[in-house]
Chains A and B, each alone.
Chain A
């Protein structure tokens, strides 16, 4: 641990906290998946909506914390110096942890409040993905501002702005600024959802994609020793394609919320192009890995990077495209098909990124970057988690197609049509498969954590012993 910058230690803390929250996400996911099978389970005590808030908020927070950890990790490597304001950064980390604890405890024990502003400020804002009460929103903004300051101050202090850092800085400003778009109350639900999507879509399908583009560029340079000129060239191309298609691709969320009809055409067109940057990312990763003939010092990281390239394309690209044109979305909107896409995309694009970075961190703290890092266990975790996510997304896809047909296209979307669809075996059975694959994911997660805690330890010991003998 002594060979680490303080910034890298902070990065490690962020990643550790993130991985704990990942476990919480899986557990709450399992709970609500079980409520689909047995709706009386914890009925009236811990209702589905509370479990779901915890499931999706844990996801948003742990992914973001992982990204912040990754940036703190690579920042000194990229700038060649310690992060400016590292003490402030550490303080912000503990404030974030304390705030998260309070928010989670309130979600679990208070759950909901009366229909007034006090509830929205202190209990639960009730807007999917950004349910955090307003006081926590403000706290999140402060923590992110500290992070932004640290990145900017460190880069400026190093007196050189690499291409990757340039892209990262612009992207982080956009990412932080967009969060503000979700921090207001309005009685008008169309206006509410219009800006709500600025946070959700422009994060997940634009600024997050570019952020992981930067993290992946740094990771590839580390894992495969890909030359900077190549990764930066690809990064610019990816930014061009992600922002070029993703910003107006936002339109696919404006089909049915009361917004004008031109969004049908704009959203359909640009979101149909959204898979293109993801194809570019695959070519990039496969090309680099091929050039190096898969030779690397960090096998698990490399394989998670490859999983990221394919997962992002299939989960976000193909699964998204499948339902993005308004002609099909009119029927598939708000069905299990969206859940299928969500699971595959978030895992494929973002979970894989964070796991790859976690392995890069572990590599360095277990005795440096020269020795090959490999184990048997990571392969089991890798295969198990990928099978689980495909199984879950596949189950929800079958259920989603059935729901699209039975409830929406044939039944006309009424209450009874919803019930009919949910009692049909095509929807009932996949919910069991989904739970089963969810359980498998939990096992995969446990193996992953065990591996992260143990991989490379033996070699580290041997190295220490060698030194002692010498």
Chain B
């Protein structure tokens, strides 16, 4: 199904007005019953519209769709570029790229993301950072963290690593020793397996099509 937002809005409002009008005909608008019926009908119609949209949205945000890549995207080269057609930034996925020196099978990659997600939840990352812009505001947004230039510009040398993923793992396991600003990240005591899984999760998340959020990423580093 391909919905246009304006069609949905007009449909929802039009339907609410028409059905309400049928059920309140003959009643004065000053009667409580007039609003009782209108409230009930409008609520039911809005919930129904939400349910239909939910079915449609769920089909478009499952892993392996255009918007949400499947786990094997960790084997791909990911960038974030401006699309002239969409007038916003979009993730660009192209070409193979080894991740921790190997190409991961679908099962391996899925298992890695699963551990990454559980690690991110169990350490309550979201209560300092934002993920997809949601969370707390005490630390940077992680939506496109995998693509952040700081890993290559600073952290790689700081922790003496060869690749970006190795650098992130080393940094994540010793955050308290490598401050980047007055506010340090506490050591969350990640095991190496957990740290690798978190890096995989960040890489996968950076490939999600977030409708152009954050905008103009990297502009200050160009």
Query: A49, B137: Cβ atoms under 8 Å?
Result: no
Tell which of A93-101, A259-267, A304-312, A452-460 binds the partner. A259-267
Query: B67, A411: Cβ atoms under 8 Å?
Result: no
- One of A32, A236, A335 near B36 (C-beta < 8 A): A236
**Extra contacts besides A258-B61, A258-B68, A414-B148 (4): CB < 8 Å:** A43-B184, A49-B123, A112-B122, A260-B57
Given contacts A49-B127, A189-B131, A422-B183, contact A233 B35 (CB under 8 A): yes
Q: Chain A residues with Cβ under 8 A from B122's Cβ?
A: 112-116, 119-120, 123-124, 126
Q: Which of B170-185 contact A (CB under 8 A)?
A: 176, 180-184
Least CB distance from A197 to B in Å reads 9
- The answer to whether the Cβ of B98 comes within 8 Å of any Cβ in the partner chain is no
Q: Chain B residues with Cβ under 8 A from A265's Cβ?
A: 5-6, 8-9
Given contacts A115-B118, A243-B46, contact A39 B182 (CB under 8 A): yes
Query: A254, B57: Cβ atoms under 8 Å?
Result: yes
Q: Chain A residues with Cβ under 8 A from B137's Cβ?
A: 334-336, 338-339, 403
Q: How far is the CA of A185 from the CA of B113 in the complex (A)?
A: 13
Query: B130, A126: Cβ atoms under 8 Å?
Result: no
Q: Chain A residues with Cβ under 8 A from B116's Cβ?
A: 115
Q: How far is the CA of A229 from the CA of B8 in the complex (A)?
A: 35
Q: How far is the CA of A451 from the CA of B197 in the complex (A)?
A: 53
Closest to A403 in B: B137
Q: How far is the CA of A414 from the CA of B122 in the complex (A)?
A: 25
Closest to B16 in A: A244
Query: B176, A44: Cβ atoms under 8 Å?
Result: yes
- The answer to whether the Cβ of A445 comes within 8 Å of any Cβ in the partner chain is no
Pairs A–B under 8 Å by Cβ, sample size 16: A48-B127, A115-B118, A116-B122, A126-B125, A131-B127, A187-B113, A187-B114, A188-B62, A189-B132, A190-B208, A255-B213, A334-B130, A409-B216, A412-B215, A417-B220, A419-B180
Q: Which 7 A-B pairs have the closest CB atoms?
A: A265-B5, A115-B119, A126-B121, A413-B214, A236-B35, A256-B213, A49-B127
Query: Residues 103-138 of chain B: 1 if any A CB is under 8 Å from the residue's CB, otherwise 0?
Result: 000000010011111111111111110111111111
Closest to B193 in A: A115
Q: How far is the CA of A396 from the CA of B162 in the complex (A)?
A: 41
Q: Which of A280-301 contact B (CB under 8 A)?
A: none
| Residues of A contacting B: mostly | helix
Least CB distance from A29 to B in Å reads 12
Q: How large is the interface on B (under 10, 10 to 19, 20 to 34, 35 or more residues)?
A: 35 or more
Q: Chain B residues with Cβ under 8 A from A418's Cβ?
A: 139-141
Query: Residues 122-154 of chain A: 1 if any B CB is under 8 Å from the residue's CB, otherwise 0?
Result: 011111100100000000000000000000000
- The answer to whether the Cβ of A16 comes within 8 Å of any Cβ in the partner chain is no
How many inter-chain residue pairs (CB < 8 Å) link A and B? 283
Least CB distance from B174 to A in Å reads 13
- One of B113, B118, B125 near A116 (C-beta < 8 A): B118
Q: How far is the CA of A187 from the CA of B109 in the complex (A)?
A: 12
- The answer to whether the Cβ of A380 comes within 8 Å of any Cβ in the partner chain is no
Least CB distance from A410 to B in Å reads 7
Q: Chain A residues with Cβ under 8 A from B32's Cβ?
A: 163, 229, 232-233, 236
Query: A194, B36: Cβ atoms under 8 Å?
Result: no
Query: Residues 320-357 of chain A: 1 if any B CB is under 8 Å from the residue's CB, otherwise 0?
Result: 00000000001101111011000000000000000000
Q: How far is the CA of A331 from the CA of B121 in the complex (A)?
A: 26
Query: A126, B49: Cβ atoms under 8 Å?
Result: no
Q: How far is the CA of A114 from the CA of B138 in the complex (A)?
A: 22
Query: A412, B220: Cβ atoms under 8 Å?
Result: yes
- One of A52, A193, A236, A415 near B127 (C-beta < 8 A): A52
- The answer to whether the Cβ of B42 comes within 8 Å of any Cβ in the partner chain is yes
Given contacts A112-B188, A115-B119, A239-B39, contact A411 B9 (CB under 8 A): no
Least CB distance from B181 to A in Å reads 5
Query: Residues 17-59 of chain B: 1 if any A CB is under 8 Å from the residue's CB, otherwise 0?
Result: 0000000000000111001101100110011011001101110
Q: How far is the CA of A303 from the CA of B60 in the complex (A)?
A: 49
Q: How far is the CA of A247 from the CA of B39 in the complex (A)?
A: 12
- One of B38, B50, B126 near A247 (C-beta < 8 A): B50
Q: How far is the CA of A147 from the CA of B2 in the complex (A)?
A: 42
Q: How far is the CA of A87 from the CA of B176 in the complex (A)?
A: 52
Q: How far is the CA of A326 from the CA of B67 in the complex (A)?
A: 19
Closest to A112 in B: B123
Given contacts A244-B42, A266-B9, A330-B213, contact A43 B134 (CB under 8 A): no
Q: Chain B residues with Cβ under 8 A from A270's Cβ?
A: 9
Q: How far is the CA of A412 from the CA of B220 in the complex (A)?
A: 6
Query: B9, A124: Cβ atoms under 8 Å?
Result: no
